Amino acid sequence: MNATNGTKGASVIIVGGGVSGLSSAWWLARAGVDVMVIEKGIVGWGASGRNGGGATHHQSPLFLEEQRLWPQMDELLRYPTEFQPKRIRIALSDQQVEEFKIGVDNTRGQGFPAEWLDPKQVRDLVPLAGNNVVGGVYYERGGHANPQRTVQAYAWALQDLGGRILQHTAVTGFQRRGGKVAAVETNAGVFSCDTLILAAGPQTGRLSALLDSEVPVTAARAEMIVTEPLPLMPIGGVDGNHLYGRQTLRGNLAYGGGPHEWLRPEDDAVAVRPSSPLARNVAKRLAELFPKAAHIRVIRSWAGVIENTPDGRPVIDRLPTAANAIVATMSSVGFGLSPATGRAISQLVIDGRCDFADLSSFRLSRFGNLSPDWREERGWLPPQTEDDDARAA
Ligand SMILES: Cc1cc2nc3c(=O)[nH]c(=O)nc-3n(C[C@H](O)[C@H](O)[C@H](O)COP(=O)(O)OP(=O)(O)OC[C@H]3O[C@@H](n4cnc5c(N)ncnc54)[C@H](O)[C@@H]3O)c2cc1C
């Protein structure tokens, strides 16, 4: 890696202090690379500090690495992530049993056990489950962690290795030289770099457009609710009923789940405020999932903004318009995959290729024939507001 010749900057600059950016930075710093993360708010301010904490992505080519790394992360980072292994999915209808089949096949196909459970077995393993259970699945591999603790752990571990994090610093543009990004412009000055990584969640497309590359990503708003603490269940990673979430180590149920609200990417700053209809909907379905907890009070809620690509899969690739720029946007699965994505991205920077997983399905070129109306075609448009109506009039 080239040094930065004493100028203000770093060998690798990463835009975005979420789990994707921080994990990449930490893996790079472990390999001795001079790295700086630039974050417009505080680390974890985006989806990374607001999510369900799930780490069970059997559909991803990074699943094996996700499952290999999570049990080691506290030791590697030297800070707690509160990772807990195992996951149970509860089905409350035959339709939900059907929906689980692909996950069971995927998991078994990759050599991990996945056991179908009958209603009694579910109730034995999940004391809060009720008589409405139709079936379930037990995953030996899979799990969950605390998003806030994980963000902190990455950030502190990175700083312990000499990596730098600039918070409250917004990236506003890029300077290019000879087909490469030479420097990053921010509201706190210009920072030179040898390599740029764009890991800005829902804002990744807007930033890549400044480099003349289209990365199709749009934003949706989700809400999480947290209940009072309950006695700890034997396995805290329980989901189903189209909810995601976990029981915290203190006993709270922290859950969220669609339907999500589609947004304009520029609206993500206001969209992090909770709205009661979404939170009420999550609370209703949580009471169905855990009838024995239906009496418990919701003590807090928050909203978060999820990044979504047209096919729901991450983009990890070099930008076609800037030879030293890598784009990393995770399309709603970024928390659990972060140990693996960070390692993959660090290898792309250092070696030019990832040696432990096939990342070809994450290439940007798969969107080569994407219709300009892809958001409309999927119904992923924000609801019309009075302001929109006034503008249109
Ligand atoms: C409610 C909810 C539940 C979820 N549940 C799960 C789950 O259970 N499991 C799972 O794996 N995933 C889950 N996700 C998705 C997961 O949280 C995201 O995929 C992941 O956090 C993305 O991380 P990231 O670092 O790529 O992006 P982000 O966390 O969005 O971070 C991007 C960062 O870039 C910064 N930024 C943007 N523009 C600029 C700029 N111009 N200059 C500087 N900084 C900038 C932002 O402030 C932000 O901090 C959930 C998401 C939400 C909202």
Q: Is any ligand 1 atom within 6 A of the Cβ of residue 342?
A: no
User: What local confidence, expressed as pLDDT, does residue 3 receive?
Assistant: 39
Q: What is the pLDDT of residue 384?
A: 72
Backbone angles phi, psi at 64, to 5 degrees: -60, -40
Whose tokens are 């790079």? That residue is 28
DSSP letter for 54, please: B
Pull the structure tokens for residue 133: 């259970």
State in Å: Cα 307 to ligand 1 middle: 7
Block means of pLDDT (10 residues each) for the chain, length 393 residues? Answer: 59 98 98 98 96 95 96 98 97 97 94 96 97 97 96 98 98 97 97 98 97 96 94 96 96 92 80 74 92 90 95 97 97 97 98 97 97 94 69 57
Of all atoms in ligand 1, which is nearest to the CA of residue 199? 26
**AA identity, residue 54:** G
- What percent of the chain is helix, strand and coil (3-state, nearest 5)? 35, 25, 40
Per the listing, tokens 């708010």 go with 41
Six token digits for residue 157:
């571990």
Q: Give yes or no for residue 332 CB within 6 A of ligand 1.
A: yes
Asked whether 194 and 11 are in contact (CB, 8 A), the reply is: yes
Does the beta carbon of 21 lie inside 6 Å of ligand 1? yes
> pLDDT value at position 4?
44
Task: Report the separation in Å between the CA atom of 308 and the middle of ligand 1, taken as the mean of its atom positions.
Answer: 10
pLDDT for the residue numbered 382: 85
The verdict on the CB of residue 336 being under 6 Å from ligand 1 is: yes
Ligand 1 center–CA 227 separation, angstroms = 23
Cα 335 to averaged position of ligand 1 atoms, centre (Å):
8
pTM for this entry: 0.94
Which atom of ligand 1 is least distant from the CA of 57? 11
Sequence spans of domains, the chain? 9-50+149-217+311-362, 85-140+219-308
Can you list the positions of beta strands (E) in the chain?
A: 9-15, 35-38, 84-91, 114-117, 135-144, 164-166, 171-177, 180-186, 189-198, 218-227, 238-240, 244-247, 253-256, 261-263, 298-308, 315-318, 325-329
Whether domain 85-140+219-308 has CATH 3.40.710.10: the reply is no
Q: How many CB atoms lie within 10 A of CB 387?
A: 8
Decide yes or no: CATH 3.50.50.60 for domain 9-50+149-217+311-362: yes
Which residue of 330, 331, 337, 345 sits with most ligand 1 atoms within 8 Å of its CB, as the best mutation to test the pocket? 330
Whole-number CA gyration radius for the chain: 21
